[in-house]
Amino acid sequence: MKTMRILGALAACLLSTMALGDNIYKYRAPDGTILFTDQASDRVSRHYTLLSVRKGWTYHARHLTEAQRDQFDRHTTQAATAYDVDPALIKAVIHAESMFDRYAVSRVGAQGLMQLMPETARQLDVSHPFNARENINGGTRFLAYLKGKFNSLDDILAAYNAGEGNVRRYGGIPPFAETRAYVKKVKQLRQRYASQFIAGLGDAQPVVAAR
């Protein structure tokens, strides 16, 4: 179907994050093989051609009030129900990506709460990336797509950060310091928010993050 083709193309892209950290370098080997690594060109054989450099993600903790953390919970819960994704996971990704700043823009152009690149936003039918509801729906839709592609939460988060292709290439979390730190931080944040949403669901079944 058209939707799945669009999402398939989207999964090959990298969803950039708000903060900057280790770079991810893309090289082409003499035989045409593509290599992704966090090693700069002076650490890689001169026979490899540098194709691109992607700025990485780091987490800079800062104080957030309860009001700041909870201001988008209604949109988060609605998206979780619509796409069958754990609301605590969605909130954790928002926290890690933008610190709940709906107007956040990274140096490479990622926008909004779930830090969608402009092309990614268009593919996800997000016309207004700084609109909280639209951005959360778009990011959650992508998480749901990745949930259908991978069985583990680690792989889902690694693909959100570094791309589906990298997760498949390395058979799991890529060996990038950024991605490993990202997965660890989002899982920690998800644990923090889990009880909040479980309490709010009452007798309803919690929405799971992975099969």
Q: What residues act catalytically?
A: 97
The Cα–Cα gap between 170 and 193 comes to: 30
In this structure, the chain runs to a length of 211
97 contacts 115 by C-beta, under 8 angstroms = yes
Structure token digits, residue 73: 């919970």
Burial class (CB in 10 A: 0-12, 13-18, 19+), 23: middle
22 contacts 176 by C-beta, under 8 angstroms = yes
Contacts of 149 (CB under 8 A, 6+ apart): 11, 159, 164
Centroid of chain to Cα 179: 10
